[in-house]
Amino acid sequence: MKKLNIKTIVLYFVLTMCSLITISSAQDTKDDIKLRMKDRFAQISELKQSGKIGETPSGFAEAVSKESAQDEKISTLLTAENNDRKLLYALIATESQTSVQEVGMGNAKRYFQKASASDYFKTQAGEWKQKKDMMP
Amino acid sequence: MKCIIPIIAVGIVLALTGCWTITVKHQVEPIYITMNVNVKVEKQLNDFFDFEDQGQGGSGSTKSIPHDKTPKQ
């Protein structure tokens, strides 16, 4: 009986430690994403301002023109940005008990509200339009 | 025997009233849950992207718009 108790205690201890490690690593991941996105923010903003990239309804950044899409620097930056957004949306979706798509759409809405009139947004039909042309 | 019919009638009325109450509750709850999730997601996104408001880079979606456009005299 004593052995069983010790085993149970050890099992609970291991489980608690595992859950603590999982929680702390998830937090680290969110902080890491934030740091990377913060570093990228100036470049992303500059590209948005110059009309080379825009936001999609699903909450991801995309090249507006073919020329921009073919630019290696831009495509590398967009891949890194969208990978981090994917991770972030998944984390928030788990925390809020909702879907990744829902979080992405929420972020797209947030970007639209904060954008300047000249920023580009992709419509549901797949067309690129400036914010000023989308306003009623 | 005379008392049984009114008791049954009252029972039917009470049962129907109970059913109506359940229907109303089912219509309200999903709206509340959806709103709660949306608010939660919105808050988490705003908390995460707080660096955008701190003027990191100072261009793009949070670019500063010059306010004093009045001509200098």
Mean pLDDT of A70-93: 96
| pLDDT value, residue B43 | 94
Give the pLDDT band of residue B54 (cuts 50, 70, 90). confident
- SS3 of A19-53: the string is HHHHHHHHHHHHHHHHHHHHHHHHHHHHHHHCCCE
Q: Which residue has the higher pLDDT, B53 or B26?
A: B53
Residue B69, pLDDT > 50, answer no
Nearest to A49 among B45, B63, B65 (CB): B63
Q: Which residue has the higher pLDDT, B19 or B9?
A: B9
What whole-number distance in Å separates Cα of residue A122 and Cα of residue A134?
10
Residue B59: inside a domain, yes or no?
A: no
| pLDDT value, residue B5 | 87
What whole-number distance in Å separates Cα of residue A34 and Cα of residue A5?
44
| pLDDT value, residue B59 | 40
Task: Enter the DSSP assignment of A123.
Answer: -
* Closest chain B residue to A89, measured at CA: B45
ipTM of the complex: 0.75
- Number of folded domains that form chain B: 1
| pLDDT value, residue A34 | 95
B57: left (phi over 0), alpha (psi -120 to 50) or beta: left
Contact between B60 and A30 using a beta-carbon 8 Å cutoff: no
Residue B56: inside a domain, yes or no?
A: no
- In the chain, the amino acid numbered A106 is G
pLDDT in tens, A35-68: 999 999 999 999 999 999 999 999 999 999 999 9
Residues of A in contact with B45 (CB under 8 A): 92, 103, 106-107, 110
Task: Provide the residue ranges of all domains of chain A, joining segments of one domain with +.
Answer: 29-134
Residue A48's Cβ-count burial label (10 Å; 0-12, 13-18, 19+) is buried
Residue B60, pLDDT > 70, answer no
What whole-number distance in Å separates Cα of residue A27 and Cα of residue A2?
38
Pairs across A and B, CB distance < 8 A: 71
| pLDDT value, residue B73 | 36
| pLDDT value, residue B65 | 37
Average pLDDT, rounded, for chain B: 69
pLDDT in tens, B10-47: 888 887 776 666 666 666 666 776 677 789 999 999 99
Please, which residues bridge with residue A130 across strands? A120
Mind telling me how many Å the CA of B52 is from chain A's nearest CA?
8
Among candidate residues A53, A32, A33, the one with its CA nearest the CA of residue A44: A53
Q: Which domain holds residue B32?
A: 4-48
Nearest to B62 among A30, A43, A114 (CB): A114
* Closest chain A residue to B53, measured at CA: A114
3-state secondary structure of A122: strand
Contact between B63 and A45 using a beta-carbon 8 Å cutoff: yes
| pLDDT value, residue B51 | 92
Q: Which residue has the higher pLDDT, A82 or B27?
A: A82
| Residue B48 touches chain A, beta carbons under 8 Å | yes
Nearest to B42 among A45, A48, A106 (CB): A106
Task: Enter the DSSP assignment of A135.
Answer: -
